[in-house]
Structure 1
């Protein structure tokens, strides 16, 4: 998948921690996600609108919090 030039924003919750992600909005309503430590060298996970909504909802309910 070829991505256009994206405007990346870092998660406000990342602050100075080393486990950080950056997000960019996609034209179809989806999002692209990358590792902020690697910047432009990071692999990019591109999610369509449904995937972006599912990811957001899972984060909100704490699905990725350590046990």
Structure 2
């Protein structure tokens, strides 16, 4: 995992512990990156099955 992937993973994981999904603005503010790089990183995490989105429960699932 790259540093950005690890950082985004930890942000999503920690915020989901409090039943809150981070918004794009949250991720931009906490990482200092632009929307395009955040989307690309989340897609990479999802393609490697590190993260999955549960559509029914509207929450993240972790490996």
Q: Which has the higher strand share?
A: 1
TM-score (normalised: structure 2): 0.34
* Superposition TM-score, scaled by structure 1 size: 0.32
Identify the structure with bigger relative contact order (alpha carbons < 8 Å, sequence gap 6+). 2
